[in-house]
Amino acid sequence: MNTTTTARPGGRTFVVSLDNRKPRGLGHERADEILVAARELFLKHGVDSVTTRQIAAAVGISQTALYVYFATKEQMLERLVELAWRALDRTLDEADDPALDPVERLRRQLAASMRFWLDRPDDFRIVFARKILRTCSSRTDPPADESARGFSGKQVFARLTERVEEAEKSGALRRLGPCQSTALAVWTTIWGLVGLRLGFPEFAPMPIDKQIALTLDLIFNGCAARSAPAAAATAG
């Protein structure tokens, strides 16, 4: 096998294959190939330990050719994050049904979100642990321009907030304060379940479908609309 070995400070060495080097003129899918290679290397070694030269070699192109598509590792990482959020948004589209009761509609959206990340643990790491993955690159690369991103978690959170507001207006959920605050509490609850299942599988004593249903029951029972006397009794 034709290989090249690259040494990094700290004694870490990477061996990449050059057998897949592509001839000129076959670059219509090159950007996707670069992202696949970058994703694998980022997850395995961390962004700070990976160079653009190693990513280019893994794809089979020159470093100069790589820069035609991505100027920095940070751009690659942010593009991977965007693609993950877009995939989640499509999943939510598939699970959505405006004809449903607002609470059931929200419940289905939350369940679909949790299952999406549990089925794609590497994407979960890319999205929620990217600050850890890029400990060094964050000091050398300029911060990403929020206005330049095509899609991010903000759009998904806005979608969740709309569903929460819809359920509150229907009278099925209590208004616990600003709608965004309720949505954020729900958001952190479902991501907590996903993070626990992925990071600490030993703390997963029940089947995932049952655990998702229990988590949703806790959310909706806690937010369920109550009569005024019942709420007063609870407060007392």
CATH topology of domain 3-67: Arc Repressor Mutant, subunit A (1.10.10)
Euclidean distance between CA atoms 113 and 85, whole angstroms:
11
Euclidean distance between CA atoms 210 and 193, whole angstroms:
12
Euclidean distance between CA atoms 40 and 46, whole angstroms:
10
Contacts of 182 (CB under 8 A, 6+ apart): 164, 168, 173, 175, 176, 223
The tally of CA atoms less than 13 A away on the side-chain side of residue 78 is 20
Instruction: Please tell me whether residue 139 adopts helix, strand or coil conformation.
Output: helix
Euclidean distance between CA atoms 155 and 198, whole angstroms:
24
What is the tens place of the pLDDT at every residue in 154-176?
899 999 999 999 999 988 888 88
- Can you give the residue ranges of every domain in the chain? 3-67, 77-227
Rounded to two decimals, the pTM is 0.75
φ, ψ dihedrals at 168, nearest 5°: -65, -45
Please report where in the chains the tokens 């942010």 appear, as a residue.
Answer: 78
Quick one: tokens of 210? Answer: 């049952």
What top-level class would CATH report for the domain 77-227?
mainly alpha
What is the tens place of the pLDDT at every residue in 36-80?
999 999 999 988 899 999 999 999 999 999 999 999 999 999 999
